Chain A
Amino acid sequence: MPPPLLGRRALLAAGLGPAVAACARPAAQSGPAGAEARSAPAVDRVRFAWADVGVPTPFRVSTAGPGGPVLLTLLYDTLTWKDDRGIIPWLASRWEVSPDGRDYTFILVPGARWQDGQPVTTQDVAFTFDYYARHPYRWMSTAMVEAAEALDAAHVRVRLKEAYAPFLEEVAGVAPILPSHVWAQVDDPSTFDGAGASLGSGPFRLAEYRAAEGAYRLSANPDYFAGRVVVGELQQLNTAAETRVLAVRQGELELAHTTDGSVGAALKGDSRVKVLETEPLSVVRLAVNTARPPLDRREVREAIAYALDRARIAAVVTKAPPVVGRDGVVPPGSPWFDPQAASRAFDPARSRALLGGQRHTLELIADPMDREPELMQPMLEAVGISLVVRRADAKTRTQLLREGRFQLGQLQHIGVGGDPDFLRRWYTGQETNDFAQGFTFVDERYAQLAAAQAAALDPARRRELVWRMQTILAEQLPTIVLYYRRFYWVYDSARYRPMNTWGGLMNGIPLVQNKLTFLAR
């Protein structure tokens, strides 16, 4: 018999997530489920590098990147959480899902308290979803929730407008539960910074936010329901990207990240400073405007894919062993990855054959700092495609892509590691964000599959649908994935041990300061 969590992971990987996780053991027996991930050294202080993410409340924190929402996970709790092997119970010790997938009944863990000592109640949970309906949490929409109701002191039911398969991971595991005694009186949370604005039930409480410096000081919550917090104080400091790794080496920080894959070699032999590399949860890809000639022809898109030596591009830019882009978009290593989905290997002869001797000139919109275009130009030129690179900052690029004023656009972003519903969101046009920018792909079969997988309650069935979506993406190439990126977290191993989270923190975020890393077990 396999160990329970490993078994759960394997089942989740096979797409059996929600149904199985609902049967997971209660959380509050000896600390939270999954807290046995690894031991955390007990230290007085851990400092890590990030940027200023604004006022740390769910309604004012910056959602222009994952740093703000991740900071909130240390102050607040969610109903579910994730360890390195899958979804685990958290504020909800367990849950039941109705046969039609619309009702989630969560059983609240006993003993959870807000940082002002008041108990976390089912009314708080119901209030949270009601409040988010009026004042959205911008990191993750809760729009699929129809209503939430506290059934008794232990049970709370969340009713969805329709079945939504990613609910446990992408909503219950992301939306911070709010103290109703604080927020019920707040009409405009977007300006509220009064008492309790950052009050959660999480492992840390906000001790100080220095707005000018973008620096946060969090102190351990001595009454944390899920276990003893072994780090006395946590500081998130606004630091320059150029000096972050040096700062860890000099002992000014305990944790910082870089995308430079050569950092491992540079730190080899250092007995104190170590590197933890994440799964390749970030993607660098070309958005293809399939509505504009000649890219409306599949053979031209295919020719581009064959012409690009993606392994070389990845190796040069990341300075690390490449994780070559897959035409089905979902990265290898994701439990949703379809190994059967075709992907085009570097084959210039085949590319030339597809173009049939025709020459094309294509325009690529890229960031001024992107190095990939220079590498792609000679590769494409060799098959008869002249690549004109137009550099533009992020805002300009986004506007051009949103308005369809482009042929090719280079994008890089996270969000490909978590639940595969991103495949629907990118291509349904329901969201006006960078993930969806540059979308011009219209495919009736794909749209039907996308809708069906989002509502698929049978995990095996869902996996099959997601795989079929990958097959269509690989066939049609509305986007060409160049490569997947890892993040390299440099840390002081004597004082802190970061961890990788299954599918990335929350909805696929490659940050490693999972709240479990601060807990004793």
Chain B
Amino acid sequence: MCRLLIRYACLAAAVLLLNFALPRLLPGDPLDLEASDGLNAAVAPLTTAQRLQLREQYRLDRPLAEQFVQYLSDLARGDLGWSISRAAPVGALVAQRLPWTVGLVLAATLVSALGGTALGLLAAWRGGQLERLVVGAAAGLAALPEFLVAMALLLALSVGTGWFPLQGARTAFAAQPPGLLGWLETALDLSWHAALPAATLALTATAPFVLLTHGAVRQVLLEPYLTTARAMGLSGARVAWRHALPNALPPVLTLFGLRLGHVLGGAIVVERVFALPGLGLLGFEALRARDYPVMQAVFLLASMAVLLANLAADLAARRFVPGPA
């Protein structure tokens, strides 16, 4: 356990260093303005004097070592810096985006993990036509890019039918009625807007769980102790849930941990297509703008989340993996 924690601590230190270094290794300058969509390369006439002033303001004129020390010092104080492209505190930007991303990606990950695991187990246990159908559908779904699934859902369920909105995380500037009814209305509005993006994420994320669980359970089914359990007269469902699934679970848990870790990384494609204010899109836009402070913050959160999720998965796997007799 101790060695495991030390290993993760070393990884965290390496992540910090990479978070600082990688953005600066990219070609391009954060002060080279880039246009928002449609009007590419239409930029304000930034004079050389203004450019020098901004370089000083954002401390980009300091030596890298000094910038790194400052970064660590700011981080220790909980200060994530000031966005160059958005002229706003990075901490506030991240905090504004965090709930949207966590809510959406977490919900989709949970649904896909539970649904995918159940389907994988069912397919492996029942076999026959159901197995072929489920595994075939999952393999097909796994091959579809998120963008395509998102557009298909939009075309089928929004364009024309108008059942779901085309974009946005909620009805823009809708007034919330007072009281419980108001909260309920807001919750319904949020769910209505989140339905298609969440469905996109859930659909594309379910396939790996189905395939992994199916494969793992199929392997476990060959183990002699399951034959023994059946011979002892245990019901099929009990054998599946109590004996087959727990033993097939470690790789599924690892996958779940990895997916969970990506919650804070956001879902760039879905956030972009549905115009959702998530962390993924914030990070992507920061990358395009070479906005070092925002890139550092988003990457730090995402990588730390992956590390923590992996650590949790490691610990869970230790608990679930059958120990020596």
Contact = CB atoms under 8 A, between A and B. Distances in A.
A272 to B, nearest CB: 15
Interface centre among B38, B44, B154 (most CB of A within 10 A): B44
B169 to A, nearest CB: 6
A26 interface: no
Given A63-B33, A398-B32, A425-B45, A367 B40 contact: yes
Interface in A34-80: 47, 50-55, 59-67, 69
Nearest to A137: B44
Contacts of B93: 211
A60 B87 contact: yes
A413 B88 CA distance: 26
Contacts of A398: 28-29, 32, 34
Interface stretch (B3-11, B106-114, B158-166, B314-322): B158-166
Interface string A148-169: 0000000000000000000000
B45 A214 contact: no
B76 interface: no
Interface string B174-185: 000000000000
A393 B45 contact: no
A102 interface: no
A54 B86 contact: yes
A211 B46 CA distance: 25
Contacts of A47: 172
A67 B151 CA distance: 27
Contacts of A186: none
B87 A413 contact: no
B37 A213 contact: no
A136 B50 contact: yes
Contacts of A213: 168-170, 172, 277
Interface residues of B, number: 56
A190 B33 contact: no
B23 to A, nearest CB: 11
Interface in B49-75: 49-51, 57
Contacts of A143: 47, 49
Given A55-B87, A213-B277, A434-B41, A243 B28 contact: no
Q: DSSP class of B's interface residues: helix, strand, loop or mixed? A: loop
B167 A243 contact: yes
B129 interface: no
Interface stretch (A3-11, A234-242, A314-322, A455-463): A234-242
Given A242-B273, A487-B38, A212 B288 contact: no
A276 B42 CA distance: 21
Q: Chain A contact residues (Cβ within 8 angstroms of B): what range?
A: 35 or more
Interface string B73-101: 00000000010011110001100110010
A411 B40 CA distance: 8
Contacts of A240: 167, 272-275
A29 interface: no
B167 A60 contact: no
B35 interface: yes
A415 interface: yes
B2 interface: no
A59 B57 CA distance: 14
A396 interface: yes
A433 B38 contact: no
Interface string A114-139: 00000000000000000000001011
Contact of B28 (A140, A235, A393, A487): A393
B48 interface: yes
B116 to A, nearest CB: 28
Given A250-B166, A395-B288, A430-B47, A62 B87 contact: yes
Contacts of B289: 64, 395
A66 B39 contact: yes
A190 B273 contact: no
Contacts of B165: 252
A143 B264 CA distance: 44
A283 B97 CA distance: 35
B29 A395 contact: yes
B166 A395 contact: no
B275 A259 contact: no
B38 A259 contact: yes
Given A243-B166, A243-B167, A140 B44 contact: yes
A189 to B, nearest CB: 10
Interface string A245-280: 011001010000111000000000000000000000
27 contacts: A51-B37, A60-B87, A62-B36, A62-B86, A63-B43, A63-B44, A65-B39, A65-B42, A66-B35, A191-B87, A217-B173, A246-B166, A252-B166, A252-B167, A394-B288, A395-B288, A399-B27, A413-B42, A413-B43, A414-B42, A415-B42, A430-B48, A431-B48, A432-B46, A432-B48, A433-B46, A434-B42
Q: Which 8 pairs of residues, A with B, have the shortest CB-CB distance?
A: A395-B28, A212-B96, A65-B36, A63-B44, A65-B35, A413-B41, A60-B87, A51-B36
